[in-house]
Amino acid sequence: MNVEIKTIGVAGAGTMGSGIAQVFAQAGYTVSIYDQIPAMLQKAKSGIESNLAILVSKTKITEAEADSILGKISFTSDIENVKADFIIEAIIENLKAKQELFKELSILNPESILATNTSTIPVTQIAFGLPHPERVIGVHFFNPAQIMKLVEIISGIETTDEIAQLVYNMIQKCGKSPIKAKDAPGFIVNRVARPFYTESQKLVEEQVASVEDLDLLLESAGFKMGPFKLMDLIGNDVNFSVTKSLFEQFYYESRFRPSRIQEQLVSGGLLGRKSGRGFYKY
């Protein structure tokens, strides 16, 4: 096992994957982003360039620094090119897909640390069947990863304390605020956040208040963003999937029941900002 992490692999070039890659590149790591779809890689590159341009415009970094950060990131659609000391996946929230990806990556990288950015799937489940489950860990960034400070570090049953501490230190080096969590459903943040979303949606279902009024109320109470604006930002498909997963993992406990309103939005493709309409129009 490598005792020092120098190179980073990111599997998945979506919003989370590209944000995570930017975080590590800004911290000085050499990063490779892998995605099966070349168009996703191009979109990720454009997104990172745009994010860095914003930092330059705000004089937080120089143009030379932006060029240096981008130069640390390579893009590939060939999984054989994903060779790194630490590899984090940010793909679809599906247990089978994550397990299959990690099986392939563990063959290509027999001594690497494998991390999952899962929101709710138990790390222990993802690690099941892998040759070295003690080197599998949850590293849960929040959207947008390049801005949000909090990162959950989740140890599975077999994850060693040494790996957990090594990863914790690395995330601190990236300027983030890591917290250690056990491998429980929803970990910490997604479990605590469910009532923020589900109770707000129940109030709308029961016609107690409107989407707009509830957002205004909670923002005036100190929240930076109301629940419906935040769900539209995250993506209603992602948010609904997380709630559904927690509902199932807690044996259908009523307080985690997904909202029919959000289910209807998802089934109609009204996913929020990324689709142009969700609880609001964009």
Note the helical H segments in 148-259.
161-173, 189-205, 211-220, 227-234, 236-249
Query: Tens digits of per-residue pLDDT, 20-43?
Result: 999 999 999 999 999 999 999 999
Q: Looking at this protein, which amino acid is placed at residue 217?
A: L
Residue 2 confidence (pLDDT) above 70 = no
Query: Tens digits of per-residue pLDDT, 117-150?
Result: 999 999 999 999 999 999 999 999 998 999 999 9
- Mean pLDDT score, 70-79: 98
- The pLDDT-based confidence of 3 (bands split at 50, 70, 90) is low
Write down all domains in the chain, each with its CATH number in brackets.
Answer: 7-182 (3.40.50.720), 191-267 (1.10.1040.50)
Which residue out of 140, 200, 241, 259 is catalytically annotated?
A: 140
Give catalytic status of residue 80 as yes or no.
Answer: no
d(CA 93, CA 97): 8
- Mean pLDDT score, 85-111: 96
Q: Which residue do the tokens 């000085």 mark?
A: 28
Which residue out of 190, 236, 241, 259 is catalytically annotated?
A: 190
What does the pLDDT read at residue 137? Answer: 98
Which residue out of 134, 152, 236, 259 is catalytically annotated?
A: 152
Which residues are within 8 A (CB) of 3 and not within 5 positions of it... i.e. 6 or more apart?
166
Give catalytic status of residue 132 as yes or no.
Answer: no
Q: Which of 273, 198, 211, 184 is nearest to 240 (CA)?
A: 198
Which residue out of 51, 117, 119, 236 is catalytically annotated?
A: 119
Residue 240 confidence (pLDDT) above 60 = yes
Mean of all residue pLDDT scores within the chain: 96
- The pLDDT-based confidence of 4 (bands split at 50, 70, 90) is confident
Query: Tens digits of per-residue pLDDT, 180-220?
Result: 999 999 999 999 999 999 999 999 999 999 999 999 999 99
Write b or e for each residue in 217-245: b if 16 or more Cβ atoms lie within 10 A of its Cβ, otherwise e: ebeeeeeeebbbbbbbebbbbbbbbbbbb
What does the pLDDT read at residue 236? Answer: 96
Give catalytic status of residue 140 as yes or no.
Answer: yes
User: Is the Cα torsion angle 156, 36, 104, 167 positive or negative in sign?
Assistant: negative
Give catalytic status of residue 162 as yes or no.
Answer: no
Q: What is the DSSP letter of 258?
A: P
